[in-house]
Each structure stands twice: as structure tokens, then as C-alpha cells.
Amino acid sequence: MATSDQTAMGTSDKTPATEIGHTPEKTPWPLWEVFVRSSRGLSHVHAGSLHAPDAEMAVRNARDLYTRRNEGVSLWVVPASSIIASDPDAKGEFFESPKGKDYRHATYYKKSEGVKHL
């Protein structure tokens, strides 16, 4: 129908890829960690990660990837590089110390006589 006009209008099917420059080497988008709050009163919980070119797009991608089934009312994204993690080789120093220290749990203590509402 309007075929000939379209060609005259310079809207041929050639994609710019064949006309414009070359595809520059692709640098991967940075990684972001996503935290979703599922409802008021709860805290944000780590949901996963994603790639995005910048913070604003990261929030949008998080909306598409992690809240598409009505999972949340609020989102945080954090650059993965900003997260300081504990050293997996230092498990002993970090996490074994509480073992055997039962007195740090409330259940360790016996209820005193005469105390109500515990």
C-alpha cells in the first residue's frame, strides 16, 4: 500500500547497524543487589541481584524482575561492590564463638518463682 512512499521517505528496512559505525566492545553492566519489602512493618529482605547501567534503571529492573507477582511495596538496590562481606575463610573466628554460650539465649534462664507474665 504505502510502500513506495515509505522508501522515498527514507524509512527503508535497513537497520542503523548496517549504516552507522560499528558496534563498540560491550562492557558488562554493573551488578546490583535487590532488597524487597513485602509489606508495611516488615524489613527489606534480600531478593537477588541484577545488572543495570545505573541506579535509576536498577530500581526499574528490580521492579520488573522481583515484584512482578505482587511481592513488594518497596525496593532498595545497592551496588554489589558496596557490600562488604565477611570472609568465608574466617568462619571459625566469626561464627563459632557463640557455640556453647547458651547463656546468651533467654531460654537458658530459669523462671524465677513468683514472676508472672513470662
Give the residues lining the site for another protein (CB under 8 A): 1-3, 5-6, 9-11, 13, 15-17, 19-24, 29, 50-54, 56-57, 60-61, 63-65, 68-71
Q: What is the residue whose three cell numbers read 566469626?
A: 94
Nearer to another protein, 68 or 111 (CB): 68
- Residue from 80, 50, 53 nearest 67 by CA: 50
State the minimum distance, in angstroms, from the CB of residue 51 to another protein. 6
Q: Are strands 74-79 and 45-51 parallel, antiparallel or unpaired?
A: unpaired
State the minimum distance, in angstroms, from the CB of residue 82 to another protein. 19
How far apart, in whole angstroms, are the C-alpha atoms of residue 41 and residue 10?
57
State the minimum distance, in angstroms, from the CB of residue 84 to another protein. 25
∠ CA 60-63-64, rounded to 5°? 90
State the minimum distance, in angstroms, from the CB of residue 42 to another protein. 13
Nearer to another protein, 39 or 82 (CB): 39
Nearer to another protein, 4 or 97 (CB): 4
- Residue from 62, 2, 66, 69 nearest 32 by CA: 62
